[in-house]
């Protein structure tokens, strides 16, 4: 039986065992304001571990950020189902006030993992053990190493030296960087999962089909605000989130959803945040309803909780908030995951309806085309352009860019031709031009932008310098494709359940007034899947017909093809094969779903 003791002779063992739990790096030990000091953790320990009878795996298991030879494994082993109101904040150690949340503990829990090639775990290829404690809300993150590329594995956690175990999870590594991938890779792409507004049936559908190799989540994994009186479900705490306890508790509430829990159990995830993981329409210095010191402390709490609870790597940090990273999936594609929200975004619109009206909209309109304005910070920009070039130079077939907000220019086109949502890339025109310039000047082909945030579906050819030289019928003049998915459950931008009698005509108007926009739907919540091969990418969009009850039911609402080397949506004979089953399709028709 492992024991934590105060003996100096075991001090190194204790430190090493805590070090094995990557949650203590949340998000980086290089930055004292955001990491848990292990000296403090060790000093607090009383010298005994929780027994197997005293702890439980309270929030399932997860895996994520797969490499060719390793993957991150996550669980929570805790003496309480509640979350910890930590007494460690960026300014130091402070008292806990009030009786909310589980108190910090002077005891630790010991967790071990095994990962193998079969579900019964008779062929274990890697294992390890570590301690967890109240300082990291009892979360545990391991990096399972020495794995084979593009291989399915199964894993399980145990309380150390006991038979008490978690459920068995499944995960998968990615191919090596130069490997020719033997079959197509399948991705399911999600964004905007709002617990109060409906069941997570989009997760349930993919769970039932077992149709993905990897899951991408482009942000808004949780929502920070208090649920409304008419909302279907009410996550805890029953208020808007500000403190570390608040963000931990909100994330924990979401992770108890059975369909989300099963998705994490069955598939490796590659997630990134958007604004609601912190606060609505957040940027580097504030959000819609917080700024200054209040926002700084709120953001630090949110970021720390996110890294504790999500199965992602602590990437090499050049500053305190780097989540942007990349994955090379053989020589088939490079996946570049951007942070266009929290890292170093310049001021965004902060008024009502997503900033479309009022607030500081006039100020942002004046700044939208400033050359020194950036949606991602100049450090990340330089990294992004380098990664695009490196990917092209190594002749990876495709470049997929995971991004939060709509990249293409969009106007309503009724009163004027101006973009209507400056929280998107339309509010950061020079930054978008720099992306286009990188693609065009370096002749970088096969770039596909993946977007979320808008709670609607948009599929566009990517075109630089407005529509100059672009033919919307043939796609000539395009330099890439944007695929933007709807929300898992967050309401339509028209708010609430608006009938198709209203949404479809608006989609037609948007298609008419935006030459690059080829398909658009405002009605369905849902997601999209990508089937990625060397010759083409097929993207299929799914709508969820009912969010009010748990179900795996879905509707195929559109399908698109992107052929190698064409840098546009395929016309066969027109975009989407000329038929969609929701919204509006350029040069095509919308039929009743089969």
Cα-only R_g, the chain: 24
Strand partners, 77: 57
Answer for the pair 130, 21: CB distance below 8 angstroms, yes or no.
yes
pLDDT in tens, 165-179: 999 999 999 999 999
Task: Report the pLDDT value the prediction gives residue 502, as an integer from 0 to 100.
Answer: 93
Residue 185 near residue 174, CB atoms below 8 Å: no
User: Is 452:526 a contact under the CB 8 Å cutoff?
Assistant: no
Q: Please give the order of strands across the beta sheet that includes 185-190.
A: 139-144, 71-78, 56-64, 268-271, 214-217, 185-190, 525-532, 536-544, 555-563
Q: How far apart are CA 244 and CA 237, in angstroms?
A: 12
Q: What is the largest CA-CA distance in the chain?
A: 76
Whether residue 8 is predicted with pLDDT greater than 60 in this model: the reply is no
d(CA 136, CA 248) in angstroms, rounded, equals 10
Q: Let me know if 288 is exposed, middle or buried by CB neighbors in 10 A (0-12, 13-18, 19+).
A: buried
| Mean pLDDT of the region 4-14 | 34
**β pairing state of 214-217 and 185-190:** parallel
Question: 3-class SS at 221?
Answer: coil
* pLDDT score, position 45: 77
Mean pLDDT of the region 36-44: 72
| pLDDT score at 16 | 42
The domain 177-219+324-590 having CATH identifier 3.60.21.70: the answer here is yes
pLDDT on residue 95: 37
Distances (CA, A) of 306 to 47, 235, 453: 29, 17, 18
Give yes or no for a cis peptide into 297 (omega within 30° of 0). no
HSE of 372, CA atoms in CB hemisphere, 13 A: 0
Nearest-10 Cα torsion for 147, 153, 158, 160? -20
Mean pLDDT of all residues in 532-553: 98
Residue 93 pLDDT greater than 60, yes or no:
no
Q: How far apart are CA 233 and CA 40, in angstroms?
A: 38
Query: Which band of pLDDT confidence, cut at 50, 70 and 90, is reported for residue 366?
Result: very high
Q: What is the pLDDT of residue 42?
A: 74
Q: From residue 299, give the alpha-carbon distance in Å to each of 194, 296, 305, 311, 453.
A: 19, 5, 10, 19, 19
> Residues of the chain with pLDDT > 70: what percent?
91
Indicate the DSSP class of residue 366: H
In whole angstroms, what is the distance from residue 307 CA to residue 183 CA?
Answer: 32
Instruction: Tell me the residue ranges of DSSP E strands in 184-233.
Output: 185-190, 214-217
429 alpha-carbon distance from chain centroid: 24
- Structure tokens belonging to residue 357: 């009206």
What is the pLDDT at residue 293? 87
Token pair recorded at residue 294: 């209040």
In the structure, what pLDDT confidence band is assigned to residue 24 with cuts at 50, 70 and 90?
Answer: confident
β-partners of residue 539 are 530, 560
In angstroms, the first-to-last Cα distance of the chain is 60
Instruction: Residue 109: name the closest of 211, 3, 236, 31 by CA.
Output: 3
How high is the pLDDT of residue 105?
87
Question: How far from 38 is each of 29, 75, 78, 488, CA to CA, in Å?
Answer: 10, 20, 19, 38
- Picking from 345, 310, 99, the residue whose alpha carbon sits closest to that of residue 222 is 310
| DSSP tally for the chain: helices H, then strands E | 11, 25
Percentage of the chain lying above the pLDDT 90 cut: 79
- φ, ψ of residue 372 to 5 degrees: the values are -90, 15
Lowest mean pLDDT among 268-272, 353-357, 426-430: 353-357
CA distance 313 to 323: 9
HSE, CB side, 13 Å, CA atoms: give it for residue 572.
11
A 10 A CB-CB count for 464 gives: 19
Give the per-residue pLDDT at 88: 47
| CA dist., res. 91 & res. 62, Å (int) | 31
Tokens 């959000």 label which residue?
287
Whose CA is closest to 232, among 456, 548, 537, 470?
A: 548
CA distance 338 to 380: 8
Mean pLDDT on 220-246: 94
Distance from C-alpha of 5 to C-alpha of 252, rounded to nearest angstrom: 31
pLDDT, tens digit, for every residue of 101-146? Answer: 888 888 999 999 999 999 999 999 999 999 999 989 999 999 999 9
Alpha-carbon gap, residue 537 to 446, rounded angstroms: 10
Say what the pLDDT of residue 87 is: 47
Q: Which of 11-15, 399-403, 458-462, 586-590 has the lowest mean pLDDT?
A: 11-15
Q: How many CA atoms, within 13 angstroms, populate the side-chain half-sphere of residue 210? A: 4
Residue 260 scores a pLDDT above 80: yes
β-strand pairing of 139-144 with 124-132 = unpaired
Alpha carbons 589 and 586: distance in angstroms, whole number: 8
Residue 412: pLDDT above 60? Answer: yes
**What's the mean pLDDT in 500-511?**
95
Q: What is the pLDDT of residue 195?
A: 98
Region class of 225: left (phi > 0), else alpha (psi between -120 and 50), else beta = beta
Q: Rounded to the nearest 5 degrees, what angle is found at the Cα of 394, between the Cα atoms of 392 and 398? A: 50
pLDDT at 30: 59
How large is the average pLDDT for residues 25-33? 63
H helix intervals, 310-401: 352-355, 361-367, 378-393
pLDDT digits (tens, 9 = 90+) for 443-458: 999 999 999 999 999 9
Give the Cβ contact number of residue 53 at 10 Å: 9
b/e burial code for range 544-567 (CB count within 10 A of at least 16 → b): beebeeebeebeebbbbbbeeebb
Domain positions in the chain are 177-219+324-590
Question: What confidence tens digit (pLDDT) does each residue in 53-63 have?
Answer: 999 999 999 99
């Amino acid at each position: 039986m492992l024991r934590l003791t105060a003996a100096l002779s075991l001090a190194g063992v204790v430190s090493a065992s805590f070090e094995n739990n990557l949650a203590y790096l949340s998000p980086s030990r290089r930055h004292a304001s955001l990491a848990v000091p292990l000296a403090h953790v060790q000093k607090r320990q009383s010298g005994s571990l929780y027994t197997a009878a005293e702890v439980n795996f309270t929030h399932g298991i997860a895996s994520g950020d797969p490499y060719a030879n390793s993957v991150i494994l996550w669980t929570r082993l805790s003496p309480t189902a509640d979350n910890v109101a930590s007494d460690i904040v960026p300014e130091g150690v402070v008292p806990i006030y009030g009786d909310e949340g589980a108190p910090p503990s002077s005891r630790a829990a010991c967790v071990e993992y095994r990962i193998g090639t079969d579900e019964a775990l008779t062929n274990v290829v890697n294992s390890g053990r570590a301690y967890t404690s109240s300082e990291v809300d009892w979360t545990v993150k391991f990096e399972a190493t020495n794995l084979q590329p593009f291989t399915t594995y199964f894993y399980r956690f145990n309380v150390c030296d006991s038979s008490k175990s978690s459920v068995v999870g499944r995960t998968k590594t990615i191919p090596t960087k130069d490997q020719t991938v033997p079959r197509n890779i399948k991705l399911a792409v999600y964004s905007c999962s709002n617990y109060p507004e409906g069941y997570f049936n989009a997760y349930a559908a993919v769970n039932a089909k077992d149709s993905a190799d990897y899951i991408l989540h482009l942000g808004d994994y949780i929502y920070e605000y208090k649920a409304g009186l008419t909302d279907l479900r009410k996550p805890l705490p029953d208020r808007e989130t500000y403190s570390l306890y608040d963000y931990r508790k909100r994330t924990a509430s979401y992770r108890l959803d059975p369909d989300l829990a099963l998705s994490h159990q069955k598939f490796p995830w590659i997630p990134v945040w958007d604004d609601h993981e912190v606060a609505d329409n957040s940027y580097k210095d504030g959000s819609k309803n917080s700024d200054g010191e209040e926002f700084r402390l709120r953001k630090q709490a949110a970021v720390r909780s996110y890294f504790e609870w999500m199965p992602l790597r602590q990437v090499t940090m050049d500053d305190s908030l780097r989540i942007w990273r990349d994955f090379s999936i053989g020589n088939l594609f490079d996946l570049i995951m951007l942070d266009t929200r929290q890292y170093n975004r310049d001021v965004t619109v902060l008024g009502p309806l997503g900033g479309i009206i009022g607030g500081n909209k006039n100020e942002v309109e004046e700044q939208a085309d400033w050359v020194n304005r950036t949606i991602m910070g100049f450090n990340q920009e330089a990294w992004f352009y380098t990664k695009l070039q490196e990917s092209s130079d190594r002749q990876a077939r495709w470049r997929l860019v995971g991004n939060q907000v709509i990249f293409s220019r969009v106007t309503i086109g009724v009163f004027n031709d101006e973009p209507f949502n400056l929280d998107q890339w339309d509010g950061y025109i020079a930054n978008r031009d720099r992306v286009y310039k990188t693609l065009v000047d370096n002749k970088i082909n096969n770039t596909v932008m993946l977007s979320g945030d808008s709670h609607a579906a948009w599929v566009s050819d990517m075109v630089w310098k407005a529509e100059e030289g672009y033919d919307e019928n043939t796609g000539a003049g395009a330099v890439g494709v944007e695929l933007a998915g709807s929300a898992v459950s967050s309401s339509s931008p028209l708010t609430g359940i608006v009938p198709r009698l209203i949404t479809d005509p608006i989609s037609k108007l948007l298609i008419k007034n935006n030459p690059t926009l080829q398909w658009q739907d405002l009605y369905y919540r849902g997601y999209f899947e990508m089937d990625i091969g060397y010759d083409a990418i097929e993207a299929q969009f799914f709508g969820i017909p009912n969010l009010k009850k748990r179900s795996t039911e879905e509707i195929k609402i559109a399908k698109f093809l992107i052929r190698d080397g064409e840098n546009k949506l395929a016309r066969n004979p027109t975009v989407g094969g000329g038929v969609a089953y929701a919204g509006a399709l350029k040069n095509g028709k919308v039929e009743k779903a089969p």
